[in-house]
Structure 1
Amino acid sequence: MSVDEAPAAEYDVPPGEEPAATCPYCGRPFREERYATFHVGAEHAAACSDAEREAFEDERDDEEYELFTFHLKAAVSVFFVYFVFTFVYALVWSG
């Protein structure tokens, strides 16, 4: 039995919440449409349509850009904190 043929599992959705999207292949609910897009592209790659595959690749590219931006901001922040501590250390010991 392949992943695409797996029986639909039951998922607990909190009362009062409606999923923003569900997987068209296995029925899994998702809070955001992009999570469903990632799921379809990763778990149902063999069965998904060209449009779904393109949407998955677009979301993956956006995610990679966001991750690069986060890493860049983190590196700049660490460098800035290091510079400030070094400057304060030099200022304290020079006086």
Structure 2
Amino acid sequence: MLAETVTQPEYEVPESETSFERCPYCERPFRTDELLIHHVGSNHRDSCTDEELEAYEAVESDEEFELFTFHVKAAVTVFMVYFMFSFMYALVWA
């Protein structure tokens, strides 16, 4: 038995969800405007306007900065944990 391919995905938005944005190209709903901008820039790059493309590049830049900040925090945390265990090891065996 072959699996049925979905050509047009269907999205159900709960009745309690009142604030959502829809993609102007495929009508897919998104909770935030930032998610909509990211979707339009990555999936509809050929048909989006210059303003939408600029907004996508700005959102992508912000996302890269947030990811860099997370990596720095994670590296500092790992270093501090390593230092703490090394210091405790030295105190116990001294």
TM-score, with structure 1 as normaliser: 0.87
**How far is 1:14 from its partner?**
1.9
Q: Give the distance between the partners of 2:10 and 2:73, measured in 1 at CA.
A: 40
Pairing 1:16-31 to 2, within 5 Å after superposition: 16-31=16-31
- RMSD (Å), alpha carbons: 1.3
Gap regions ≥5 residues in structure 1: 1-6
Given that 1:20 and 1:32 are in contact with CA atoms closer than 8 Å, whether structure 2 keeps it comes out as: yes
Pairing 1:76-91 to 2, within 5 Å after superposition: 76-91=76-91
**How far is 1:19 from its partner?**
4.3
Gap regions ≥5 residues in structure 2: 1-6
Pairing 1:1-95 to 2, within 5 Å after superposition: 9-94=9-94
**How far is 1:20 from its partner?**
2.4
Q: Give the distance between the partners of 1:81 and 1:9, measured in 2 at CA.
A: 46
**How far is 1:15 from its partner?**
2.4
Q: What percent of counterpart residues are identical?
A: 55
Q: Give the distance between the partners of 2:93 and 2:9, measured in 1 at CA.
A: 65
User: Which structure's relative contact order is higher, taking Cα pairs within 8 Å and 6+ residues apart?
Assistant: 1
SS at match of 1:72: helix
Given that 1:8 and 1:26 are in contact with CA atoms closer than 8 Å, whether structure 2 keeps it comes out as: no
SS at match of 2:74: helix
Q: Give the distance between the partners of 1:29 and 1:66, measured in 2 at CA.
A: 25
* Aligned residues between the structures: 88
